[in-house]
Amino acid sequence: MPRTLKNCHNFTDLKDLAKRRLPGPLYHYIDGAAEDETTYRRNTESFMDVDLVPNVLAGVENIDMSVEVMGYKIDLPIFCSPTALQRLFHHQGERGVALAAEKFNTLFGVSSLGTVKLKDIDDLIKTPKMFQFYFHKDRALNDSMITMAQEANFEILTLTVDTITGGNRERDLKTGFTTPPKLTPKSIFEFASKPAWALNYFFREKFELSQLSSHVNEGTNIAISVGDYFSTMLDQSMTWDDVIKLKENWGRKFCLKGIMSASDARKAVEMKADAIMISNHGGRQLDGGRSPFDQLDEILQEVGGEIEVILDGGIQRGTHVLKAMAMGATACSGGRMYLFGLAAAGQKGVEKALGNMKIEIERDMKLMGVKNLKDLKPHMLRKRQFLA
């Protein structure tokens, strides 16, 4: 395991350093997924079933890694997908991620279960911001969050649609993970074993779910698992009609996260969403579900060219990004991709994660013989053939 950030050359190194620095339940919350975690593993393994076919002698001294996502040009084809509870992993939390994303001029998302106020993020950075929205039973809370995001100048609203109930996250059940963390004999031992984390958590800014704390106590003052939060607090009666009304109320760029079927992608086009994120919530909801990369071509065959299609999940290497872009994705996004960096070293850890990814994408584009990501085409991919 690497002991310093300098020695973290890839995703796995950052993951190992995060494991050194986090109490066990928090590390396993980031790394864990639903049930047997087969979908979590498949999210990354799926990229191994497709090979890249490079061209050579293409004059690739200067390359362009930029893409346009929902009207905003970003300098990397991958951005920081919204993730919950970030100040549990490092005291800088969303502030550290926001500043790192701005440094690389890429998109940054804040979760409804975020731990920093949206206005604070608006005051901190000038690059585009995405607010990820959970549709709660409490309609007043929903309205409040929309107003907060509008007043904080968030340009994009992303509705997560695959959390109609909580996934069976068995690692969390085994470790007893909750937000905020419960103090038990077992957890006190875990916290004491990571004194730097414990000092930062207990003696810095009080932990809260900043967008929710004025409406509900769960997650800020009452400890609850994320799975239980989804199952009890979110509105299981939500339909496409609710989504259409939400989009109209928002009035700005609108994205749906958690689309996995071609038929749902078609509905997103019909309701005039600006983008969809193909995502299975990092394998944390339905175990046995298809991976986003496996499903990308089918969705592009249905709606490609009619709506922006973002691949979210499983990305650990620059070649993973290039494979998705060659297939026709607008851009890619990831959560664990930068969360382990955050846990390892705060803002500098996220910068290391994004920097490693940038270096890999630049090198791999040159090795593929492309100067612009638009030069990546499906004919540069080959699906491996497996004997039955």
Measuring CA to CA, which residue among 236, 285, 276, 240 is closest to residue 257? 276
DSSP state of 261: S
Structure tokens at 358: 């940038």
Q: How far apart are CA 155 and CA 143, in angstroms?
A: 17
Lookup: tokens for 308 = 């922006």
* Amino acid (one-letter) located at 327: M
Q: Hey, what are 89's tokens?
A: 């992993």
The yes-or-no answer on residue 281 being catalytic is: yes
- Residues 2 and 13 sit within 8 Å (Cβ to Cβ): yes
Residue entry with tokens 């584009």: 365
How many other β-carbons are positioned within 10 Å of the β-carbon of residue 51?
Answer: 13
Out of 136, 281, 320, 379, the active site residue is 281
First to last CA, the chain: 38
Token digits of residue 131: 């607010």
Q: What are phi and psi of 289, to 5 degrees?
A: -75, 160
**What is the distance between the alpha carbons of residues 293 and 312, in angstroms, rounded to a whole number?**
8
Residues ≥6 apart with Cβ < 8 Å to 339: 18, 30, 83, 86, 89
Q: Is the peptide bond before 128 cis (omega within 30 degrees of 0)?
A: no
> Residue 87: in which H helix or E strand, if any?
helix 86-89
| Residue 43 token pair | 């999210």
DSSP 207: P
Closest CA to 104 of 357, 371, 380: 357
Provide the annotated active-site residues: 281
